[in-house]
Amino acid sequence: MEKESFEYILPCRFGIESVLKREVNDLGYTTLPGSDGRVSFIGDAEALCRASVNLRTAERILINVGTFRAETYDQLFEGTKALEIERFVPEHGAFTIAKAGTVRSRLFSPSDIQSIVKKAMAVRLSEKYRVSWLPEDGEEYSFRVFIKDDMVTIGLDTSGASLHKRGYRLRNAAAPLAENLAAAVIMLTPFKDSRIMVDPFCGSGTIPIECAMIAARKAPGVNRSFRAEKWGFIGKELWDRAREEARSLEKSSIEADIQGYDIDGSVISAARENAERAGVDSMIHFQRRPVAELSHGGSFGFIITNPPYGERIGEEEELKEIYASLGRAYRALDRWSMYVLSSFDSAQKYIGIRPGKVRKLYNGMIKAELYQYAGEKPGKKRPASKAAHER
Ligand SMILES: C[S@@+](CC[C@H](N)C(=O)[O-])C[C@H]1O[C@@H](n2cnc3c(N)ncnc32)[C@H](O)[C@@H]1O
């Protein structure tokens, strides 16, 4: 099975498909034409191990077990039963249908879809293993079903815990940002590891930690496990090799000056602990500091941040002052860029500066805007007026 090729489906947050495609391409794989919220590519077992260990922005990696058309539950049953599930699930495998989602399709009830797919798989496996009862007391095999325009795709989850769980964030601030979204935001900016990056609302440190990991080429998955490691059909040596390859590319120091500030001293201590677990504590300077005191003597730096936005913490009046302080601090910085991820509707109004670009992203189920203020690049001649700072 190790030399066989599979189609891998990588669900991701809406709005970051381009970043994930770039990551897959950088690993040496060609992506297939995709759709919103997912990226796909073809690869062998080694590709799965390398992608699991290295990808920063995917939610999880599924093996596409089969795609077929179904407009009725009978067709869903027969289509599923025709799939060679026994290639993956052994006689004792415990198989579940973790999730079903549908878009513009005749079949729309997730719970009915889940139970029909499970039943069809059980019938197929009982026939193949010539048993009347499947014990399901072995390793777990979890499937996800997507139906779009009546086309059913069944994916086998190889990741287990979502890939945003790198294992370093054991202490959280209120409203922490998912690690893969923080990485995606950084990768949407032109941040280079020779530059300055400050997160003035760093909370549990996710943005500075992901930034340091990117700068130090630390792969996000080297210190965690993946569900597919427990299955017999991918050899341990392939997983070991993927981790060794990733570790061999790590840098022990970085040029970037990365800083994380927050008004709350307890979250700063959480951020420090998280950074230590991620192995990047020596690369980040964390400090308790309110945004009103944000300053930096350097030029051409980046603010990349996720301020309070009022859904879970903070209120309008307080937010007004916080965003206004951020705007004032940014104006005083010398030729910096700023990227602000926020779900606060009046963020731009109170920052008081018109962004060059606004990108829609999703922070969990919450729609958020990434306000992008591109600053100057080092080495470029300075224009007479600083357009990014115009209201
Ligand atoms: C949305 S959370 C940031 C979450 C962070 N990205 C993470 O992953 O943990 C916003 C943070 O802003 C901090 N904060 C609130 N008011 C502040 C202020 N005036 N100055 C600096 N930080 C502030 C809060 O303590 C909180 O940790």
CA–CA separation, 145 and 153 (whole Å)? 6
Residue 236 lies in a domain: no
Residue 366 lies in a domain: yes
Answer yes or no: do 312 and 257 share one domain. yes
Answer yes or no: do 205 and 84 share one domain. no
C-beta 204 within 6 A of ligand 1: yes
SS3 157: strand
Residue 90 backbone dihedrals phi, psi, to 5 degrees: -75, 175
Q: Which amino acid is at 360?
A: K
Residue 246 lies in a domain: no
DSSP, res 106: S
Q: Which residue range(s) make up the domain with 131?
A: 6-157
Q: Among 157, 191, 208, where does a domain finish? A: 157
Answer yes or no: do 200 and 142 share one domain. no
Answer yes or no: do 198 and 137 share one domain. no
Taking a C-beta distance cutoff of 8 angstroms, is the pair 157, 144 a contact?
A: yes
pLDDT tens sequence across 289-342 = 999 999 999 999 999 999 998 765 557 888 999 999 999 999 999 999 999 999
Helix (H) / strand (E) element for 140: namely strand 140-148
Residues with Cβ < 8 Å from 389, sequence gap 6 or more?
Answer: 331, 353
Render the burial of 367-376: b for 16+ CB within 10 Å, e for the rest: ebbbbbbebb
CA–CA separation, 96 and 356 (whole Å)? 46
pLDDT tens sequence across 95-126 = 999 999 999 999 999 999 999 999 999 999 99
Q: Is the model's pLDDT at 383 over the cut of 90?
A: no
Taking a C-beta distance cutoff of 8 angstroms, is the pair 11, 37 a contact?
A: yes
pLDDT tens sequence across 24-80 = 999 999 999 878 899 999 999 999 999 999 999 999 999 999 999 999 999 999 999
Answer yes or no: do 129 and 269 share one domain. no
HSE, CB side, 13 Å, CA atoms: give it for residue 246. Answer: 23
CA–CA separation, 81 and 119 (whole Å)? 9
Answer yes or no: do 192 and 131 share one domain. no
What are 198's two structure tokens?
């400050």
Output the residue whose Cα is nearest ligand 1's atom 7: 176
What are 158's two structure tokens?
């190889």
Structural domains counted in the chain: 2
Residue 283 lies in a domain: yes
Q: Where are the alpha helices (DSSP H) in 310-381?
A: 316-332, 347-351
CA–CA separation, 349 and 352 (whole Å)? 5
Answer yes or no: do 108 and 206 share one domain. no
Answer yes or no: do 193 and 310 share one domain. yes
Answer yes or no: do 343 and 270 share one domain. yes
| C-alpha separations of 123 from 79, 115, 132, 139, 203 in Å | 12, 12, 9, 19, 50
Mutation test residue for ligand 1: of 181, 198, 263, the one with most atoms within 8 Å of CB: 263
Residue 82 lies in a domain: yes
Residue 40 lies in a domain: yes
C-beta 322 within 6 A of ligand 1: yes
Q: Which amino acid is at 76?
A: L
C-beta 171 within 6 A of ligand 1: no
Closest CA relative to residue 158, chosen from 223, 62, 38, 65: 62
Residue 164 lies in a domain: no
Closest CA relative to residue 319, chosen from 311, 332, 380: 311
User: Ligand 1: which atom is nearest the Cα of residue 172?
Assistant: 9
Q: What is the pTM of this model?
A: 0.93
Closest CA relative to residue 325, chosen from 286, 289, 284: 289
pLDDT tens sequence across 153-176 = 999 999 999 999 999 998 777 788
Gap from CA of 306 to ligand 1 centroid (Å): 7
| β 302-305/284-288 pair status | unpaired
Q: Which amino acid is at 239?
A: W
Residue 351 lies in a domain: yes
Gap from CA of 201 to ligand 1 centroid (Å): 4
Answer yes or no: do 76 and 120 share one domain. yes
C-beta 176 within 6 A of ligand 1: yes
| CATH number of the structural domain spanning residue 70 | 3.30.2130.30
| CATH number of the structural domain spanning residue 285 | 3.40.50.150
Answer yes or no: do 212 and 358 share one domain. yes
Answer yes or no: do 204 and 79 share one domain. no
What is the average pLDDT across 190-194?
A: 89
